[in-house]
Every structure is written in structure tokens, then in C-alpha cells.
Structure 1
Amino acid sequence: MATVIFLVLFLAVLLLALRPVWGPKEPFPEPPRREELLRELEVLKEEVQNLEGEEKKLALARVVELERALDGWRPPEPRPFNPWPVALALGVVVLLGVGLWRYTLPRLPGETTVTARAEARELKALQDKAKRTGEVADLLAWGRRAYELQAFDQAAEAYLAVLKKDPTNIEAVRR
């Protein structure tokens, strides 16, 4: 349940953070000079029709200059949507989620990072049986299995219980 709440909050924060990206494409209005350039261009185009010779060439050069200036004021063409950054971000989030799920889940009593759940259940069953019966054989079985699974705290507890009942037990003394 906590994972679902975390994911919902994460997605909400992500949407809030990306909201400006999906906003208006032109954050700044066009400068007023554009209107002046358009009027001047219209006037020049009308004059070019009446001019001849060198004056016509100069007026046409000015028309080209104005058109280039107007091109500079146009907003750039929007880039097409590129799915790679989104796919990469989702991949990182998925890998992070899998890593967190795998290595931070609560573990059963006796379960360590190197034991699986079945081994932890087996170890818990041996521990319960050994504590219930209190026999040396059951305590040794619990200690051996805990030692094999590298759950040394439980192995030490089992072997100490064996030594209390049988102080001359070689295996318990050795481990």
C-alpha cells in the first residue's frame, strides 16, 4: 500500500515538474517592431513596382533585408516528439523501483540478504521446534542450518543453548 501511495505522489510531483514543458510554446510576445517591419515591407513592395534601374535594385535589396529580419522574428519550428528521453527516464524509474523492491522489503525473522524466504521459513520452523522441545539434537539442527545460511546470530543462540545443556559438545564448542 505504501508503494502505491509513493508512486501516486511521485507521478503527481513529476506532472507538476513537467507542466511548464507542456505549456504555451511562445512564452514571450513578439516585439512591436515586427508590425513596423511589415508595414515598411508593404510600402517598399508598392514602390518597387514604380521604380526603375539602380533605385529598384536598392529597394529590392531593402525588401530582402526586411524579409530576412522578419524571418528572424518568426518562432522556430517545434521539434518533433522524441520518445527516447521518456523511455530512458521510465527505464531508470523501473530499475530503481525493482532495486528498491528487491533490497528494502521487510524480511521475515531470520531472513538475511543472502537467504530466500523458503530458507527463512525453514529456519524459523527449526527454531520453533528447538525452543519447544529443548532437545540437544533439535538445537544442533537449528544451529547447523543457521550456520549454513550465514545467520550467525541465530547459530550462536542455538549453540549457546546446546552448551548450556551439554557443555562437552564438540560441535557447539567449535562453532
Structure 2
Amino acid sequence: MLPQSSQTTASPSLTNLVTEKLTYDNFLLWKVQIVPIAKGYGVMDHLDGLKLAPSEFVELEDDKGKTNLEPNLEYEKWYAQDQQVSAWINSTLSPEILAQKVCHVLASLGEEYKMFATIMLAKPPLPSCDDLKTLLLQHELAFNITSNASSRVIDTPLQSSASHNVLYTFA
């Protein structure tokens, strides 16, 4: 296993180790390259789903006996590593697979984002995954500003990213 400081740092040269970007026709070849690298970096649990994300918050009792919810440092570490693995995997996907991923995200958005998804799908080219994330955050901010945010809370599409890693499930 990598030293603690290296575990969450994805090497930029990883994409050089994967000679085949994932297409519709080469999943097994792509997987044969990805799995040993993921195991070597100790991040296979982010791909196979065997280890769930730690709780985002932990209950801690203060010196007065009051229980407070505090951010879980283990979750923050896991989340940072998960985002790096996701970015690394995205860098090994072909343009057509990235477009499919964008379409999947747009199709899975809730009713509050139906107009947004329709506009994104209607105006080619599709945004990149990073651009889509930025556009979704901008849309959410605009929505919250124009609506009564205190009386209506919408589900944000970027929360719980671990539950949306459908593309990265390995058997």
C-alpha cells in the first residue's frame, strides 16, 4: 500500500499506463489495465463497491455532555480520494463514453433540472464532465437565488457522488 501522503495523490503519469481509452468495444482490455493499477494504488475499493463511504458526520459529545455533529475526517479523506479516482478514470475514457456519461447524468437529474437537461441535450456539443459540474452548480445557485430557498429545498445532483458511480462498478 502507498504511504498515507501518496494515497490520495493520483500520479499524472497514470494515463500513460493505460494505453487504451475505454470505448464500446474494448472494456475487457481496458479493465485488464485499470484493475492492477487501482490495486497497486490501494483504491480498488472505490471501484468495486466492497467498502462503503464512511459517514459524512460523526456525533461527538462536548465537555457539557451535549452531542454535536462534526465533519468526519475519514469521510473527507475518502471523498478526496474518490474524486481523484473519478478524475483519473475519466481521463481514460474515450470521447463517446464521456458523452454517454454526461447523458446519463442529465437523464438522472430531478424535475427541478428538467429544463436544464433539455437545454444541454438540445445544443451540441455536450459539455465535458467538468463543464457540466460547473453548469449544474451555476444553475443550482441561480435557482436558489430566485426561489424561496428557506421554504423549498431541492436535491442537488452533485451530492452523494459515490452513489452515482455506476460506470465504475467492476465485477
Q: TM-score range by the shorter chain?
A: under 0.3
**TM-score, structure 2 length as denominator?**
0.23
Higher RCO (Cα < 8 Å, 6 or more apart): 2
Higher strand proportion, which one? Answer: 2
Larger Rg: 1
Higher helix proportion, which one? Answer: 1
